Amino acid sequence: MKIAVGNDHRGYELKLAVTAALTDDGHEVEDYGCHGPESADYPDFARAVGLAVAAGDADLGVLACGSGIGVSIAANKVPGVRAALCCSLEAAATTRRHNDSNVICFSGDHTAADDAVAMARAWIASAFEGGRHARRVDKITAIEQSLARHDQG
């Protein structure tokens, strides 16, 4: 599976740990930055990962910033992205099964590397269940599409 990863300076170390584990698991990981601990603006990297996922250049995306909230908000601005901030294994698996999330977000300040790796693996291993959940995801997509048409004119 091809996975796009991105982060700001506060998510840098967490991204390195998750990237190493996913690469060891046999996934192709593309790093959209940032590439060091120097201060960096999370919207730039959330946008890049979101665009890669939405365009199909990556199957899934992983993002990290200090709180995880900023990258989640920014990534969700990209049409076609369903980014979820996760703090537990159950949340990570559930967001794939129920929300068909395609980007997972982590807090670099509050998530241990081992926990992020375990959540990323659980998320990747889970599959969208469809059924009643598909109806709800379809409604999210309809909102997104109607607002895009509204913006165009």
Does this model's pTM top 0.85? My answer is yes
Contact (CB, 8 A) for 10 and 66: yes
Average pLDDT for 17-42: 97
pLDDT (tens digit per residue) in 76-123: 999 999 999 999 999 999 999 999 999 999 999 999 999 999 999 999
d(CA 144, CA 147): 5
Q: What is the pLDDT of residue 3?
A: 98
Q: Is 150 known to be catalytic?
A: no
- Output the CA torsion sign for 77, 78, 79, 80: negative
Encoding tokens for residue 12?
């840098």
Average pLDDT over residues 25-29: 98
Known active-site residue 35: no
pLDDT at 152: 63
Q: Which residue is catalytic, options 9, 27, 87, 98?
A: 98
Among 34, 65, 86, 105, the one annotated catalytic = 65
**CA dihedral of 78, 81, 84, 90, whole degrees rounded to 10:** 180
